[in-house]
């Protein structure tokens, strides 16, 4: 990111995306409701999708790790007295 007069500026690249009519209308409506341009809304949506994909990947790695190395009986029992359950 480049800083111009203290304002963050990120160089942009123009890309073409093909959307069906219904999706394009929904995007335009959502962008309008949020007072954003279609491009800003799309950038935010793509960032959110990438974050979700990254989280899903990390969760899958976590699951696979526990399948390869399951928790042993009593492995976490030392911490049971330290747990606080709030209703």
Which of the four pLDDT bands, split at 50, 70 and 90, describes residue 9?
A: confident
Interval 33-56 mean pLDDT: 96
* pLDDT at residue number 71: 86
Helix, strand, coil percentages, rounded to 5, for the chain: 55, 5, 35
**What spatial distance separates the first Cα and last Cα of the chain, rounded to whole Å?**
45
* Tokens describing residue 40: 């800003």
Residue 61 has pLDDT above 70, yes or no: yes
The domain segmentation of the chain, as residue ranges, is 18-69
Round the average pLDDT of the chain to a whole number and report it. 89
CB atoms within 10 A of CB 41: 19
The residue with greater pLDDT, 33 or 86, is: 33
The residue with greater pLDDT, 6 or 82, is: 82
């Amino acid at each position: 990111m480049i800083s111009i007069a203290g304002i963050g500026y990120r160089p942009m690249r123009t890309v073409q995306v093909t959307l069906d009519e219904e999706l394009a209308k929904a995007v335009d409506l959502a962008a309008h409701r949020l007072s954003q341009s279609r491009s800003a809304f799309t950038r935010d949506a793509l960032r959110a999708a990438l974050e979700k994909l990254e989280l899903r990947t990390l969760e899958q790695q976590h699951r696979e790790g526990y399948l390869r190395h399951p928790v042993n009986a009593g492995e976490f029992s030392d911490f049971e007295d330290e747990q606080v359950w709030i209703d």
